[in-house]
Chain A
């Protein structure tokens, strides 16, 4: 078990674990912000008011039609370059600061993942039978009550399997934050790999992602079981 000892005492391991913390923060912030945001987006996509519906459509097309890596770069650099342009036009006195790297990454991830989650939620909302709305209405519930008390809880159960896919992808996508130099686990693993002339840090990073997703899968199985009390 020599190799295990070497591994556990590797000088780069503490750094990698610190990076894992950053990865987890990125992951949690994205989930906590993008899921609630996705519900109004899904409703906007289903709105009878066509300008809103079109606006959401364009957003979905752009976000799903361009690479997430490009979106990360755009969110980071766009405020400065766009504001320089606005200064030239005399609409702004000084150009905006480049945002904090971590904040920019969270922002891009939230915008991106909200798009995917909103489509999952839309599918879920549309799969609820019309009779549920009608029963709610006949019993005197207001429209928000029907949505939040009757429809949404049933939607949650239906979107769990599709969401699990998305969340697992998110764990791995956090590695893209390296393009902004966010010190998450992949960025650090790559750095250590080149400074130590060893693939071990990269293998370690792989193991870390694998374990994280193992936990995610386990959590989703638990949630599915918990919601199994009704059809």
Chain B
């Protein structure tokens, strides 16, 4: 965790999104999105495909440029009223966030170990010994220490996803984002990933997770956002949202998901 966090008042959210909007050309994909995430919280984002969940995640992690609104990360403005911070500040802010992709996006030409050490060495300027130690520690935790010298193509989907989680964690992010981390996996492999995320939640890693795993979302997260049509339809503590949703659209979505 960085020093900036220590100076942050306990009441201030780690992620603060206000009135975020995003359009691709003519079509509005996100409208007036506001939510916040506190340190140690786990937030899940659910909703139908094409509803804007992934776009929201990509906006907050700066893979997409917002059309308007404000995003504060640890109190620092990544974008304020649609105006982005200057390049250096933006880079520093983005380094506080890690992202785990649906398709893992490991670097196929690097070994598992090098996938995890490369950014530590060339972005954080750690020595290769330090980077290696961090990587091996994380692989140990993921149960993949014996795969350090393997290449991504030699691993199962679940193992690849664990490596990509380790790769993100190696940079000590304050917040870890997951974009449908189990959607590209065979059903029997989703369990191992969900276990890893649960373990991270147990040590109070701040996480934002876009997922279709309803039971998992209900269990693991403190709060859940239901997004449809580019709007936050419901934002509530997870138990409440899943067990007693207030909005009809949430109810309809949840019953559809559980009937499948």
Instruction: Report A's interface with B, CB cutoff 8 A.
Output: 129, 131-132, 134-135, 137-141, 145, 149-150, 153-154, 157, 229-231
Contacts and interface: CB of A to CB of B under 8 A. Distances in A.
Contacts of A138: 61, 63, 94, 97-99, 168
Given A149-B118, A229-B151, A137 B101 contact: no
B109 interface: yes
7 contacts: A129-B105, A131-B101, A141-B122, A149-B122, A154-B109, A229-B151, A230-B109
Contacts of A150: 107
A131 B103 contact: yes
B123 interface: yes
B94 to A, nearest CB: 7
B108 A135 contact: no
B105 A132 contact: yes
Contacts, number: 57
Contacts of A141: 119, 122-123
A16 B124 CA distance: 58
Given A139-B167, A229-B151, A230-B152, 11 more contacts: A131-B101, A131-B103, A131-B105, A134-B101, A134-B105, A139-B171, A140-B119, A141-B122, A150-B107, A230-B109, A231-B108
B234 to A, nearest CB: 29
A230 B115 CA distance: 13
A150 B107 CA distance: 7
B141 interface: no
B153 interface: yes
Given A149-B118, A154-B109, A229-B151, A140 B123 contact: yes
Interface string B82-112: 0000000001001101110101011111000
Contacts of A153: 109
Nearest to A156: B109
B123 A135 contact: no
B108 A154 contact: yes
Interface residues of B, number: 27
Interface string B103-141: 101111100000000110011100000000000000000
A148 to B, nearest CB: 10
A129 B108 CA distance: 11
A230 B108 CA distance: 6
A129 B152 CA distance: 15
Contacts of B107: 132, 135, 150
Nearest to A135: B105
Given A145-B122, A157-B109, A140 B101 contact: no
Nearest to B92: A140
A153 B111 CA distance: 13
Contacts of A140: 91, 94-95, 119, 123-124, 171
A231 B171 contact: no
A53 B219 CA distance: 53
Contact of A230 (B62, B91, B153): B153
A137 B63 contact: yes
Nearest to A154: B109
Contacts of B119: 139-141
A132 B104 CA distance: 10
Interface in B23-53: none
B108 to A, nearest CB: 5
A140 B173 CA distance: 11
A139 B123 contact: yes
Contacts of A134: 63, 101, 105
7 interchain residue pairs of minimum CB distance: A231-B153, A135-B105, A140-B123, A131-B105, A139-B119, A138-B99, A230-B151
Most buried by B among A132, A140, A149: A140
Nearest to B170: A139
Contacts of B95: 140
A134 to B, nearest CB: 6
A224 to B, nearest CB: 14
B79 to A, nearest CB: 16
A231 B122 CA distance: 24
A153 B106 CA distance: 14
Most buried by A among B109, B119, B122, B153: B109
Contacts of A157: 109
A154 B103 CA distance: 18
B101 A135 contact: yes
B111 to A, nearest CB: 9
B184 to A, nearest CB: 11
Nearest to A229: B151
Nearest to B153: A231
